[in-house]
Amino acid sequence: MPEIEIDPTTRIEGHHATTLEVEDGRVVRAESEMNMFRGIESITHGRTPSDVPQVTQMVCGVCFTCHRQASILALEDAARRAGVFDGVPVTGRLLRDVMEGLFLMWNHAVHLFVLAGPDYSDAVADTGFDRLDPVEGAGYQTALARQRDLLQAFTEFGGRAPHPLTYAPGGVTADPDEAALTAVREALSGVDEWLGPTEALPEHLERARDGGPVPEQGVGTYDLCCLLLAAADAGADGFGVGPGRFYANGMFYGTGDDSLVFPRGIYDGEALSRPSRDELIEGITEDVSHAWYTDASGGRIDEAPAPDPDPEKADAYSWGKAPRFEGETMETGPLARQIAARSDPFDLRADLGNGVAASSTFNRLAARVQELLATRDHLLRWLDAVDLDAPTKADWTDEFTGTGVGFWGASRGALSHWVRVEDGEVEGYQIVTPTTWNLSPRDADGQPGVFEEAVEGMSVADVSDPVDVMRTVRSFDPCLGCAVHVQSPEGSFETRVEPHAPGGSADGH
């Protein structure tokens, strides 16, 4: 029985490997291996609550905003339940949404053009869509420029990217003026022109299908339509099929009440439900049977201690835990959010995929395109609603005792931060990331993780080039930086930093 070891997985964020057992040209077993240890939860212990978001956003240099946001939401939840916090002012909440929306668009553009896009380019897959070619393709190059515009717009409110400075418990410390708002609008206008009107997507899809000329406006959406057509032609609607269960935390408050713009939901394969906060807390557990952690590191999230490594553990093969909801695996990501919203703009998943609420490599790509356009449309409205004269932050105190959970959506799916505060100091902290939901190892019952199930049974025509397996793992847009962190052995290290310009000294002085 041939065994395929794919290490490392390329064009993702972080370090991941996959081991495949192949029999008669099909994958009979897959193991998803996260190759680093994450210990950032332990770093939060003993700190004051308001210090924690600055620490937890460092979990990743790509998913920085969503971790800071989820951390703040967890702290605000705890303070609210302790009776010392009343809520975030509307303008502060709206500024957070704008920053989160800019980040989401940037991250989706990176995934669709830089990480997953080359899988369907002419240079890599002989598809004829040379605009998607990495580095040299015109569509690829234009997308890089627009990604820069999105991050520059983000810094007007966030101070810097990555690792913004202005998100804080109670709201946003930024006090933007008209010039800052204008700068964000101008940066977004270039992105808006690149994508063109959302309603023009069907026209771009037909133009791409017919090989028509590249449009003057909406070239980004045209390129994305080329990607979807190439994925459909590759049969991506028929492979990478997961368990068919989906989980979305929801995200964005927008200009309305406390209801979420992208709603929370769990789809069990037959029906969609809207779990409450308490139902999620009761239902979410982490299994560590095949992860390099002590048995005590698993269980209910609100009761488990910080991850305790056990690198010699028998039968373990991953540093990633295995999150489950009521004992079941759950796929998460833009596709889960689209399903939770009962949304399939332009019937992309119904017509080109394998069904509106179905799992597949194609549907994950299509849902990300749909969410990119929807987020752009919301952003334009949120910017118009920003009141520069309104307060952006409420009073905040670290002096409380309580527990809280911050449920939020990252570009890669459902994210949650769990905190326990005792007399103004953090005593417990947990992070459950989208990538651990999607790329987890097996659990105690032998139930494979979502990605593992998605590739088991998949045809592998050439064991030296399991291209559809790679397309599938990338379709989840994994971020191993969020899922795990580096474990350093004992010892001392010395690094020499060279000056970046003539005349500087090696130590930076």
Pairwise CA distance, residues 325 & 336, whole Å: 14
Q: Which two tokens mark 36?
A: 């680093």
**Domain-located, residue 489:** no
What local confidence, expressed as pLDDT, does residue 64 receive? 81
**Domain-located, residue 470:** yes
Please enumerate, by residue number, every residue annotated as part of a binding site for Fe cation.
Answer: 63, 482
**Domain-located, residue 347:** yes
Note the pTM of the prediction, 2 decimals.
Answer: 0.93
Residue 408 in this model has a pLDDT that exceeds 80? yes
Residue 495 in this model has a pLDDT that exceeds 90? no
What is the span of the domain harbouring residue 237?
3-483
**Domain-located, residue 82:** yes
**Domain-located, residue 490:** no
Q: Strand, helix or coil at 310?
A: coil
Residues 6 or more apart whose CB falls under 8 angstroms from that of 182 comprise none
**CATH number for the domain including 188?**
1.10.645.10
Please enumerate, by residue number, every residue annotated as part of a binding site.
Answer: 41, 60, 63, 431, 479, 482, 485
Give residue 496's pLDDT band: very low, low, confident or very high (50, 70, 90).
low
The distance in angstroms from the start CA to the end CA of the chain is 59
Pairwise CA distance, residues 427 & 446, whole Å: 33
What local confidence, expressed as pLDDT, does residue 437 receive? 98
Please enumerate, by residue number, every residue annotated as part of a binding site for Ni(2+).
Answer: 60, 63, 479
**Domain-located, residue 367:** yes
Nearest to 174 by CA among 326, 480, 393: 393
Q: What is the 3-state secondary structure (H, E, C) of 170-236?
A: CEECCCCCHHHHHHHHHHHHHHHHHHCCHHHHHHHHHHHHHCCCCCCCCHHHHHHHHHHHHHHHCCC
Give residue 484's pLDDT band: very low, low, confident or very high (50, 70, 90).
low
Residue 49 and residue 365 in contact, taking contact as beta carbons nearer than 8 Å: no
Please enumerate, by residue number, every residue annotated as part of a binding site for Mg(2+).
Answer: 41, 431, 485
**Domain-located, residue 508:** no
Q: Give the angle 178-181-182 at the CA atoms, nearest 5°.
A: 85
Domains identified in the chain, total number: 1
Question: pLDDT tens digits for 368-378?
Answer: 999 999 999 99
Give residue 18's pLDDT band: very low, low, confident or very high (50, 70, 90).
very high
